[in-house]
């Protein structure tokens, strides 16, 4: 009997399960303008997509040349939520993938638990991940540190070497590699494929191809 190559698939949320990155980039630009700093769309994608709160704040402070006030982001949270409520959809093909996967899976995101839950509920994906949702709030360091992925694997009793991680950002792919997990870089969103490539990483742009790739089969 052939053994499945993986015992656990760890999904990122934004850009992998929910098609939120395009919305976030647009609102990010509005927030940065209100703060008095400017980033191009290319800079926002390269610097902020998939980043932790610490990375986000540090980049903004560097551009502003001053520290941000504690809790500064609360004044802008409604902008993201209003846009998500009106526009957010699941990534094309992801529901089919989750229905078809023959091995356990979970979610590990740099987002907070409340935001993850809202976004999954809005897109009809929450029931797939009940009891298997992990947030950067659960660990000392978010991605690109490996802590979150290692925490998820440890909690679910799986050897990191037997885990596959599905990510759409360089931060997440780096975290997976550092954790000793196999990375699958989803390039069907905003991140250019070349930013996801690297050792032990499979880059793909159609989510429906994921089950075959996880099984080690080639796709056309």
List 10's β-bridge partners, or say none: 106, 165
Q: What is the mean pLDDT of the chain?
A: 93
Instruction: Write the pLDDT tens digit of every residue in 29-57.
Output: 999 999 999 999 989 998 888 888 888 89
pLDDT given for residue 2 in this prediction: 44
List 22's β-bridge partners, or say none: none
pLDDT given for residue 166 in this prediction: 98
- Residue 209 banded pLDDT, cuts 50, 70, 90: very high
* Domains of the chain from N-terminus onward: 8-19+89-214 (3.40.50.1000), 21-86 (1.10.150)
* Helices 170-178/147-156 angle, 10° precision: 60
Instruction: Write the pLDDT tens digit of every residue in 140-185.
Output: 999 999 999 999 999 999 999 999 999 999 999 999 999 999 999 9
pLDDT given for residue 220 in this prediction: 67
Q: Are 66 and 36 in contact (CB under 8 A)?
A: no
Could you identify the residue written with the tokens 């250019």? 192
Instruction: Write the pLDDT tens digit of every residue in 106-153.
Output: 999 999 999 999 999 999 999 999 999 999 999 999 999 999 999 999
Work out the number of other CB atoms within 10 angstroms of the CB of residue 13: 23
Strand order through the sheet with 133-135: 133-135, 105-109, 8-11, 163-167, 182-186, 201-204
Full DSSP string of 170-189: HHHHHHHHHTT-EEEEE-SS
Instruction: Report how far residue 198's alpha carbon sits from residue 196's, in angstroms, rounded to the nearest whole number.
Output: 7
Instruction: Write the pLDDT tens digit of every residue in 52-89.
Output: 888 889 999 999 999 999 999 999 999 999 999 999 99
């Amino acid at each position: 009997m052939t053994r499945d190559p993986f015992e656990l698939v760890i999904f990122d949320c934004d850009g992998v399960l929910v098609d939120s990155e395009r919305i976030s980039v647009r609102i990010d630009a509005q927030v940065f303008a209100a703060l008095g700093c400017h980033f191009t769309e290319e800079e926002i994608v390269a610097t902020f997509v998939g980043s932790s709160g610490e990375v986000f704040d540090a980049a903004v402070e560097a551009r502003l040349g001053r520290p941000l006030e504690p809790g500064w982001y609360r004044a802008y949270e409604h902008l993201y939520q209003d846009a998500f409520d009106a526009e957010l959809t699941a990534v094309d093909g992801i529901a089919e993938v989750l229905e078809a996967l023959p091995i356990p899976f979970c979610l590990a995101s740099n987002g907070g638990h409340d935001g993850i839950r809202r976004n999954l509920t809005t897109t009809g994906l929450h029931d797939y991940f009940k009891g298997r949702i992990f947030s950067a709030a659960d660990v000392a360091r978010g991605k690109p540190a490996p802590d979150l992925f290692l925490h998820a694997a440890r909690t679910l009793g799986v050897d990191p070497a037997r885990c596959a991680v599905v990510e759409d950002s360089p931060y997440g792919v780096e975290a997976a590699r550092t954790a000793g997990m196999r990375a699958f870089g989803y390039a069907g969103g905003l991140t250019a494929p070349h930013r996801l490539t690297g050792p032990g990483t499979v880059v793909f742009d159609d989510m429906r191809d994921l089950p075959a790739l996880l099984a080690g089969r080639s796709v056309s």
